[in-house]
Structure 1
């Protein structure tokens, strides 16, 4: 009998299936037991279909028994984010408008997951149209934090992060516009990465030239995340922005980067641009001190990202109006108020506004290119707050300072979004109440492998 559990690493689970130590069917049953135990309270996985999963696991076992070529994730249970199309499964976007919608195709990210050999069990919950970093909607309800169910799991990949942290699945996919892979990772104590623009291509899209949102991986540790990125990454002729490096760039052993002499720029508040909860700031400072003690060349420094707020808000509103404006007109009472307001904000934008945002984004990219000439990575908070009460849509204040809307508390994530740089959230500590907090590591565009190696080193150091 295998001593493997649902809390084993994804790499260990994949190796055990590959070696015959455990079958895909047996591994699925272990995870279905955990889902039955935790999901009724946490509500991370939606559209759960155990019987379809069992049939798929049986096919996976037969393929292995027949000596067929199998993929790197063969036999691993997997739940796809409910904004990603998985053919034949519900695809609701967390919206009443699509409550009964079933996908008629696999999108590119799902194609790659299917080819890797995963066993689909369901979808992971999202906020409505992935808008906002707290996962709740009128179709499936709220997703709760696995560490403290009275708190938010973050979003928009909140269901994915919660399912990972609670052992319902060994790996998870997500997407990130304003922090949707990073914020829930910080809230749930897992690892979430927003890759470089073009690293994980997406298709189909209503606009292949819109580049604020990217797909990416989540996992319980950096090594597992690299394994999933090796499946998701790589060029595709349908995605003109795709980077040319093959996914295999991220496969294989991931050696932690040497910390001695590593040039780390750190900033708790991104040069005064952020209001950061005191306990989160303490986690960042403690992490920086440990890195310095380990020999890293730590410097208090931050790039000037003063253009980022207007840039992100303009492009987000433009994108939401272009993608969802017609649906809002057709279903005026079916959108949550904060999302409707964001769509409405796009209606008044002019061509000059959008041009200004793209010009500013070009400047931000150049700012980061010059910054990383002197630093290997930038370290800052992933989220400006620890997980907040699940009844709130967003934290209304930080350290007594009022947040004007549902975006303002996410600046630590979305300021990085508009630079195009890769960023990863690594678990770094807990608040006095035991709530998780992550640190965010950022590298130059295209340096995803280097970023993973640094993240692995930070993870290793903090585990001591």
Structure 2
């Protein structure tokens, strides 16, 4: 069987459960692929091949049970993995080896997945470009001179280049959606609480969520079912596990289309690709309407809450790199009055969108305002002649959506003339994760963009 590493995770799982392939065989195919392409892409930064092979042999000696039985997976280097180096992208933790697995790792292992290592991330996941002082930059598999996005850039690049079939990511301001868009894979920022996480510092903080990443929507749903469900360590965990909608297709679905999320500058190359998405939905039988979206207040609400969180999470400025330190310093400036204003602004946005969701089932919009940018640039400084005031501003199209407490998927939408991937963002009302993924699956299958592989 050729290109075993590029089968879908769903097909891999079927073959494993039917014993048509072994976990050892599948793992070796991925280890070979990692050896072949990772030196150029730099997506997987810690590899635990020997231990992973031991687990694969053990799984081959038992009857396949869990839904992810024998599937290799690598975890974002922000996620604690027992016995495997976890650096958080920081020189201060370059040799850190946790004693326990984070909850998402526990659930993936319980479902039968095999941990093979860690994927690259910027320091503490700060920023939408994956580069740090410990491991350097992750490169885009479709153009090695370009960024893979961030902060789950290592995960997205590893998926796109066939090093792993599934990956976990996390998303505060687009850290999961942006790299999925840049690398032509799929990612879901779920409704907060859909994939619970446990925090000993900010248990009620809902802007940052863990989520699944994959090459197809079916694979995404396979993983989501394994990691969702209630856990008492999260005060807002959703009780029931994720289940896909029984209905397929998008016929009669009410689709809102916003090319700029209410006036944001969008690179013409990105705009040209994402503008094709509404017609796809119309041809599939959906009712599409272009809307003037009002997300006023999302900017300040996001920045205040983000800054407050960084001040809480990173009290020691001396060990921080410039991006993380800048966020923590802004957090120290946040007052009680600022937090009150942020809560008022976020509440107002939520209630406006609550009325919006009575009229529409999903919202289409760009994931990122630009296509993948040069890997040696720290961030995007200008879009369509509009200067970006800081390294956060170019990701407004993603982080304004983060404020909504809503599920949002990034799905491949096509390529620029240079061959750079562009994703479209499909957003739904809070808790409507299954509706979002139903729409994403219909779009994916109608277009097939996600099946185009990089020429590595």
Give your verdict on TM over 0.5: yes
- Secondary structure, aligned partner of 1:149: strand
RMSD: 1.4
**1:59-78 aligned within 5 A:** 59-62=58-61, 64=62, 67=63, 70-78=65-73
Q: Distance in 1 between matches of 2:72 and 2:276?
A: 36
User: Is residue 2:46 matched to residue 1:47?
Assistant: yes
The equivalent of 2:306 in structure 1 is 316
Structure 1's unaligned 5+ residue stretches are none
Q: Distance in 2 between matches of 1:109 and 1:210?
A: 17
**1:373-384 aligned within 5 A:** 373-384=358-369
**1:8-157 aligned within 5 A:** 8-62=7-61, 64=62, 67=63, 70-157=65-152
The equivalent of 2:431 in structure 1 is 446
The equivalent of 2:454 in structure 1 is none
Q: Distance in 2 between matches of 1:255 and 1:174?
A: 27
Out of 252, 255, 275, the position equivalent to 1:264 is: 255
**1:244-255 aligned within 5 A:** 244-247=239-242, 249-250=243-244
- Secondary structure, aligned partner of 1:172: strand
CA contact (8 A) 2:48 2:84 kept: no
Q: Distance in 2 between matches of 1:319 and 1:370?
A: 29
Q: CA deviation at 1:4?
A: 6.4
Q: Distance in 2 between matches of 1:231 and 1:358?
A: 33
Q: CA deviation at 1:303?
A: 3.3
- Secondary structure, aligned partner of 2:410: strand
- Secondary structure, aligned partner of 2:413: strand
Q: CA deviation at 1:89?
A: 0.9
Compared CA separation, residues 244 and 171, structure 1 to 2 (3 A): same
Out of 258, 272, 290, the position equivalent to 2:280 is: 290
Runs of 4+ in 1 over 6 A off after TM superposition: none
CA contact (8 A) 1:302 1:378 kept: no
CA contact (8 A) 2:156 2:180 kept: yes
TM-score, length-scaled by structure 1: 0.94
Q: CA deviation at 1:452?
A: 0.7
CA contact (8 A) 1:380 1:440 kept: yes
The equivalent of 1:281 in structure 2 is 271
CA contact (8 A) 1:108 1:204 kept: no
CA contact (8 A) 1:31 1:167 kept: yes
CA contact (8 A) 1:160 1:173 kept: yes
Compared CA separation, residues 297 and 392, structure 1 to 2 (3 A): same
Structure 1, residues 20-48: CA drift from partner, whole Å, max 9, x if none? 11110110000001000110010100111
User: Is residue 2:406 matched to residue 1:411?
Assistant: no
Compared CA separation, residues 409 and 263, structure 1 to 2 (3 A): same
The equivalent of 1:424 in structure 2 is 409
- Secondary structure, aligned partner of 2:412: strand
The equivalent of 2:172 in structure 1 is 177
**1:329-368 aligned within 5 A:** 332=318, 334-368=319-353
- Secondary structure, aligned partner of 1:373: helix
Structure 1, residues 221-249: CA drift from partner, whole Å, max 9, x if none? 111000010011111111110011224x2
CA contact (8 A) 1:265 1:302 kept: no
Out of 443, 448, 456, the position equivalent to 1:458 is: 443
CA contact (8 A) 1:107 1:204 kept: no
CA contact (8 A) 2:91 2:134 kept: yes
- Secondary structure, aligned partner of 1:100: coil
CA contact (8 A) 2:145 2:375 kept: yes
- Secondary structure, aligned partner of 1:30: helix
Q: Distance in 1 between matches of 2:232 and 2:189?
A: 22
The equivalent of 2:219 in structure 1 is 224
Q: Distance in 2 between matches of 1:364 and 1:255?
A: 30
Q: Distance in 1 between matches of 2:110 and 2:199?
A: 18
Q: Distance in 1 between matches of 2:312 and 2:235?
A: 20
CA contact (8 A) 2:149 2:178 kept: yes
Q: Distance in 1 between matches of 2:83 and 2:190?
A: 28
Structure 1, residues 98-155: CA drift from partner, whole Å, max 9, x if none? 1111111111111101101111110000000000000000111110001001000000
Q: Distance in 2 between matches of 1:50 and 1:234?
A: 30
- Secondary structure, aligned partner of 1:225: helix
Structure 2's unaligned 5+ residue stretches are 450-456
Q: CA deviation at 1:254?
A: 6.8
- Secondary structure, aligned partner of 1:89: coil
Structure 1, residues 334-356: CA drift from partner, whole Å, max 9, x if none? 43222211110111111111121
Out of 207, 211, 224, the position equivalent to 1:212 is: 207
Corresponding residue pairs, total: 449
Q: Identify which range, 95-104 or 153-162, moves more after superposition.
A: 95-104
Q: Identify which range, 361-370 or 406-415, moves more after superposition.
A: 361-370
